[in-house]
A and B are shown apart, each in its own frame.
Chain A
Amino acid sequence: MQDLKTSVIKFQNENKLPIIVTAIFFFTFFYVSFFHHLTFTESDGIFYFLTGEQILSGYEDNIGIIGAPIGGPLLHASFGNILDDPFVAGKIISLLSCTGVVFTSFFITKNLFSRKVALVTQLFFAVNPKIAHLSIMVLNEAAPLFFIFISLYYATKKQKSTTTYALVGIFLGIAFCFRYQSVFILIAFLVYLLIFERERIFGLRNFCLTLFPFLVTISPLLIFNNLILGKFSTLSPNFYLLDLFKFQTESWRQNMVNIVDEGIFSAFSLDPFLFLKNYFYNLLFHNPDHLFKFSIDVYDTLSIIPLFPILGILPAIGGFLYITKINLNKKQLSILLSTFFITFLLIGLFGTLEYHFMLLVIIPLSVIGITNIHKIPNNVLFLLISCIIFLIFISVLPVYRAFHLFPIWLILPALSSLFFIEGIPAIQVKIKQLRHFGGTDDET
């Protein structure tokens, strides 16, 4: 008991600032949530509560939950019934989960970079308008995000034990019971383990140590789905494709209506060309648009500069170039320029510059990243891989709201903070050195 007390005091003393930031966040949004949001008006929150009520009452036959598993409805209904007020229960779930996200954002970033960088990253989380929104509104987003963040904390630890791998799987499994997209983070982690941690481990040991706890955690959900609902997943992606695909034809719509209950492969085989056209639009324009907002509607963005969201891409790129320790010599410059022009040519031949211009940024940066991959710390690599894999999978659909990209967002404010805290002073030193040498040359 004494040891625990000592550990808590030590933890508090070592982490005063992140605890203060988290406390300010909690009390600010507690005030907004409980003194300014007085009527349950969130259709999503009401839907998840009522769906949970139906499941708990045994009327699960008619539930129409097509975009999420039953974990969210069950949590909202159970906690709502315990408090006898689903609205207050939902607000508590959202507020505590987002407070947890703000808190863990510091410790995840501390696994990657210095304490100062971690603190600035945490501040970017605490003042982000979308985190604020999620902490106040009764939705099914904050709880899975919190569990994903706990798993990211363990996944980015430099020294991993058997328990660490198991915890990554367990927390991603819990998140999966609320939102299916957490499986993309699991895939990213497994890919990372196979490619980058393989030399340090024996075969597939850590791969299995992560995957099995994940499967065990989600097994009650899969058993319920299969026994009660007659299918392993409640997800009906074709509904969303029909509703949200940008490029559609009349005949495609008519055929899609008949296969809304089927899997995504039937939608693909209906018109592969149209499917791919939509997919690449989502991947290269629509979904990254929620990160940096290329268009004028500034409301729905995760950019760290929400008033001028597109500018938020600059410090992130700066941080990325800093971490790759790129030396702009002739070789690196020629790589950058040649990949840029080849990409430009390919877009001209096969794509549309209006929708695919992000490739002009992504491809040269990826090539720079690959050529300098040995300089990037492993846990940063994992987050970069998560970003890519998450976007590759999620882009089957156009994400409806920017906050759906929060599971991969951390690397962007973290790289931006790195640029601000370490990159800018490094640039200042370089400039000073150049001035100094320039002055010396002048004198001689």
Chain B
Amino acid sequence: MMKLNLIIVSLFLLVSIGFTFMLTLSTFYQSENSTDSKFDILDSFLSGELKTAEEDVRKIIQLLKQDENIEDKFIMTSDKTYAYHTNSKLIHASFAEGSPDDSIEDFITKKNWSYYELYFSAMSSIPPHKDLYVEQIPNYLIYSYTNFSDDPNTTWYMDDDSHIKILENPEDPNIPKFLNPIYSSVFGNGGIVVYEVNLQD
């Protein structure tokens, strides 16, 4: 009775420590098996079936570096990591741009991107630029996805009915021929696919 406050504080701190541990673990490690549970990382930790979340990134960087001319090439993706580590150029895309009826080619060529989408992409690219209508065809396209959708209460929540979603599966017969999948990986709550883009041919 006398030390009730100490017991409560200790409980609160222990719960926080456990939660922080789990969150930190899930930031740097992933479950080997695909699952919908956010807390699956703990099961995987206990069973020793964890892989580092940075493994795919390192493999993709190594793969891209095999291209001798990578420093002159464009990578279309939402993540700055690959262009930064390979000294290549980034065409920033969040994969929500354009019209829902766009084909993959329309998307890659930014055919129906709005002024705002072009502006944001130009500003977030590497190097950033102000020429919104400059023609830049990517040499590589890196598409990462997650099976977790945003909290519906957040203002950036969208029902994911993206026309680009077929890129998740590199074996989908609807993937156009100019996209050549060179790397794909599925992990606990999502995956990543790298395509070589041969649109110039």
Listed in ascending order, the chain A residues whose CB lies under 8 Å from chain B are: 32, 36-41, 43, 46-47, 50, 54, 59, 61-64, 66, 120, 123-124, 127-129, 132-133, 136-137, 239, 242-246, 257, 260, 278, 281-282, 285-286, 289, 294-297, 299-300, 304-307, 398, 400, 417, 420-421, 424-425, 428
Contacts A41-B81, A428-B1 supplied; 17 other A-B pairs, CB < 8 Å: A39-B54, A50-B84, A54-B128, A66-B123, A124-B16, A127-B16, A129-B16, A129-B23, A129-B24, A242-B116, A244-B156, A278-B155, A304-B12, A306-B19, A307-B15, A398-B155, A424-B8
Check B119–A244 contact: CB distance below 8 A: no
How many B residues are at the interface, by size bracket? Answer: 35 or more
Closest residue of B by beta carbon distance from A128: B16
CB <8 Å contact, A46 and B81: yes
Q: How far is the CB of A48 from chain B (nearest CB, A)?
A: 10
The interface residues of chain B lying within 8 Å CB-to-CB of A260 are 116, 119
Contact A120 B124 (CB under 8 A): no
Q: A398-B154, A420-B5 are in contact. Are A129 and B20 (CB under 8 A)?
A: yes
Q: Measured between alpha carbons, how far is A11 from B17 in the docked complex, in Å?
A: 28
Q: Of all chain B residues, which has the CB nearest A137? A: B27
Give A260 to B132 CA distance when docked, in angstroms. Answer: 15
The answer, among B27, B80, B154, for a CB contact under 8 Å with A46, is: B80
B153 within 8 A of partner (CB)? yes
A295 to B129, CA, bound (A): 40
Nearest 4 pairs between A and B by C-beta? A64-B123, A297-B151, A246-B155, A127-B16
Max chain B C-beta neighbours (<10 A), residue from A37, A278, A421 = A37
A388 vs chain B, min Cβ distance (A): 22
How many inter-chain residue pairs (CB < 8 Å) link A and B? 134
Bound together, the chains give a CA A289 to CA B152 distance in angstroms of: 12
CB closest residue in chain B, given A47? B80
Is the beta-carbon distance between B20 and A128 smaller than 8 angstroms?
A: yes
Contacts of B116 in A (CB 8 A): 242, 257, 260
Q: Quick one: CB contact mask for B11-46 with A, threshold 8 Å, 1 for yes?
A: 011011111100110011000000000100000000
Residues of A with C-beta under 8 A to B114? 257
Residues in A whose Cβ lies below 8 Å from that of B128: 54, 62-64
Q: Which residues of B contact A41 (CB under 8 A)?
A: 54, 57, 79, 81
Bound form: Cα–Cα A65–B80 in Å = 15
Is A299 in contact with B5, judged by CB distance below 8 angstroms?
Answer: no
Chain A residues near B8 (CB-CB < 8 A)? 420, 424
Residue of A nearest to B129 (CB): A62
